[in-house]
Chain A
């Protein structure tokens, strides 16, 4: 069975400090991973996906198959980064609807 683990419920960092939100997964197939974010009073939205190899709002995430990890990183935290972050693993082949398995989430708190 697939599983996504986010070991930290809360991560508190100072503004300007580096951020790393941890995500580990277990899955027997070829993994496809995402980070979703929920800002205060906003709906959950996609932040980035490993398949796109993109950087969004200064965040990056690299899929490490050896360590089965997909940690989210940002070199310098900003106040507006404070939010709930969910790591998600997609199960499903081409053309089929995603069955995303989400982690339990990490709340990032950026303080001055």
Chain B
């Protein structure tokens, strides 16, 4: 079974800190994604990557950057954390794009920015 692992379940950071959220998948998937999940807003795509060193902006990339140096690892970076970035962050991966593409999600990182 596909395993998508997010390094932290809970994180508490201060405003202005640089924050790294890490995600690793173990099934050689091509695509990886970062979403944030907020009550009443659903899931919103921040960034995704379809290959090593390749990335594309999602719907809400402002204030975030990403890094994919190895196929199995996709990092989300908050350059200078702000309180409005307090959220649940979900990482996902998929084998390849195309019709019926199935996403596998991690268990999430609840980030609180104080």
Q: How far is the CA of A98 from the CA of B35 in the complex (A)?
A: 13
In the complex the two chains form, is A51's CB within 8 Å of B107's CB?
no
Range for the number of chain B residues in contact with chain A: 20 to 34
Give the chain B neighbours of A98 by CB distance below 8 A: 31, 94, 97, 101, 103
Question: Known: A43-B105, A44-B90, A97-B48. Is A51-B40 also a contact (CB below 8 A)?
Answer: no
Does A96 interact with chain B (Cβ within 8 Å)?
yes
Contact string against B for A residues 79-102, beta-carbon threshold 8 Å, 1 for contact and 0 otherwise:
000000010101011111111111
Does A74 interact with chain B (Cβ within 8 Å)?
no
The smallest beta-carbon distance between A8 and chain B, in angstroms, is: 12
In the complex the two chains form, is A102's CB within 8 Å of B44's CB?
yes
Does A32 interact with chain B (Cβ within 8 Å)?
yes
In the complex the two chains form, is B108's CB within 8 Å of A43's CB?
yes
Q: How far is the CA of A46 from the CA of B104 in the complex (A)?
A: 8
Q: How far is the CA of A93 from the CA of B96 in the complex (A)?
A: 12
In the complex the two chains form, is A102's CB within 8 Å of B96's CB?
no
Question: Known: A32-B100, A94-B99. Is A104-B45 also a contact (CB below 8 A)?
Answer: no
Partner of A105, one of B35, B42, B56, B98: B42
In the complex the two chains form, is A94's CB within 8 Å of B97's CB?
yes
How many A residues face the partner with a CB closer than 8 A? 29
Give the chain A neighbours of B90 by CB distance below 8 A: 44
Q: How far is the CA of A99 from the CA of B59 in the complex (A)?
A: 9
In the complex the two chains form, is A100's CB within 8 Å of B100's CB?
no
Give the chain A neighbours of B104 by CB distance below 8 A: 45
Give the chain A neighbours of B56 by CB distance below 8 A: 97
Q: How far is the CA of A100 from the CA of B49 in the complex (A)?
A: 13
In the complex the two chains form, is B40's CB within 8 Å of A104's CB?
yes
Q: How far is the CA of A112 from the CA of B40 in the complex (A)?
A: 27
Question: Known: A32-B99, A44-B90, A86-B42. Is A97-B31 also a contact (CB below 8 A)?
Answer: yes
Which residues on A are within 8 Å of B, measured CB to CB?
4, 6, 9, 32, 36, 43-46, 49, 51-52, 86, 88, 90, 92-105
Which residues on B are within 8 Å of A, measured CB to CB?
4, 30-31, 33, 35, 40-45, 48-50, 56, 58-59, 90, 92, 94, 96-108
